[in-house]
Chain A
């Protein structure tokens, strides 16, 4: 049976991290996963709508989920933050009182949130629905010898409390994917912690110090690259890495890959097609190590 999902791209994957959209759709084609893009969806608010009012976050995202329900499909996210925010709203409305659903539905003109679908990150879909054995069979270029450090993102691990995919302090889904692709997972302190992105627009020192300590820990543990399922983490760890280096006073130069880019390399996709040149920190060391096999 073909796996088919309602694809929620999120803002960043269509803008500053377009390579995420390109690599997700690229690997979906190779793996035979059908994605129906939610063209009418909107930004989840990245956790800030709740700071204005929780009802704003609930209604905007109930509408997003309703769009997937109308297609009769599970919603697929590709961003830890989108997942944590939309997943939490789905948990709250699906398992909460009918009156909460009714209240939200009063505001969804032309749509109706029913609580009949799930919200799942690409990472969880690959591990749970597609299966790591099936993924392994699709590997064209084993990533043997490549040492990957995972960077999960707070919202993916701790954003949802009612339905949980894994232990927020001892997750292993990313490491399991690395192993399936032939790469070596590197464990380091910080892989479950915050990249600092939410503070990057105004508390830059704190934000970049946060990113810096985790990147240093990964390098010290021997990682060749960091792999993240969150484009917001990617922005702070890659695009801001020059500022991060300034704040901590140390050279880093560690490539940061989006999860589907790493998978795409193993599936034999062209690095250019995966957008690996659209990074601030050069990814050539990773590409060379994979292509030289």
Chain B
């Protein structure tokens, strides 16, 4: 079959990008990487891209194909063309282009370093034998340990696109991987570190990382696990992000539905204690009043099932407490 392949070309870091279309003879069972190889070997030797293992292990060949990041050695032409008429190939997003489909991953690696991505045993004495890990202990970190650091999740991350400080889903998946490791002895410091700005609360839960990860790490779920651990800490310093989560549970337990004005005051103004927060709500509040959009507390109607919901959340909370989870 003849396939039309549109590729984003860029001669150097500074040059303007352009698109070039190639027509390639290939089969449905070819990988996208096969197609790129055919172009480079048979039509245009100037095309630059990364490749290595051809087996979804090394993570070198991640690129954007038809709008989202994939490992080009893993995805097949036939699957890609099920509902598209051509292959659109672009470099990974959120990273600067060096040439054509090759991106500069310095920021990606630097962000990974920020989470201290190594199992720490520094404070322990060197044992006579190696540290042992039971299968069930390994199981806890298995999905995070699958990460091949290909950059697909980072490419599609909505938070990384607008927030330079956010370390990214790859780094936080690794953070969970070391935190969940029974051989690591820095859990307390890690919890404090990942709770800071640039850490887990800067994730916007867009699901893109879960969606594009080629090896099932599901970074968003790992980020949620770190958040759970943080929320379980009794002595964690209060913050708007933590209040946001706790207030949600509290208000649903009280009324079934969220009383939005109460929610805003509790979360953003810390029930009136945070003056800066209070001031920040004034312009929003004013324009909502003017447009008749203000969810006044006296207009709020709790759920007719609120007592049932309260009992349910209390019972679930007790169960989680018994398990040491909250």
Contacts and interface: CB of A to CB of B under 8 A. Distances in A.
Judge: A and B partners, yes or no: yes
Interface of A: 11-12, 14-18, 39-43, 45-56, 59-60, 63, 67, 107-111, 154-155, 157-159, 161, 167-170, 193-194, 196, 198-199, 201-207, 209-210, 213, 239-240, 242-243, 277-280
Contacts of A15: 258-260, 295, 300
A198 B291 contact: no
B162 A202 contact: no
Interface string B7-34: 0000000000000000000000000000
Contacts of B202: 199, 203, 206
A230 B159 CA distance: 20
Nearest to A50: B224
Contacts of A63: 308-309, 312
A40 B303 CA distance: 5
Interface of B: 66-68, 83-84, 158-159, 161-163, 166, 197, 201-202, 204-208, 210-211, 224, 227-228, 231, 239-241, 244-245, 248-249, 251-252, 256-260, 264, 267-268, 280, 283-284, 287-288, 291-295, 300-301, 303-306, 308-309, 311-313, 315-317, 319-320, 325-326
Given A59-B316, A60-B309, A210-B158, A16 B304 contact: no
A91 to B, nearest CB: 14
Contacts of B161: 210, 213
A207 B159 CA distance: 8
A193 B93 CA distance: 13
30 contacts: A12-B260, A15-B300, A17-B293, A39-B303, A40-B308, A42-B252, A42-B303, A43-B251, A43-B257, A52-B231, A53-B325, A53-B326, A55-B316, A56-B313, A108-B312, A109-B308, A157-B207, A158-B210, A193-B206, A194-B204, A194-B206, A196-B162, A196-B204, A198-B204, A199-B159, A203-B163, A206-B166, A209-B163, A277-B291, A278-B291
A55 B319 contact: yes
Contact of A48 (B248, B312, B313): B248
Contacts of B308: 40, 63, 109-111
Nearest to B211: A158
A39 B207 contact: no
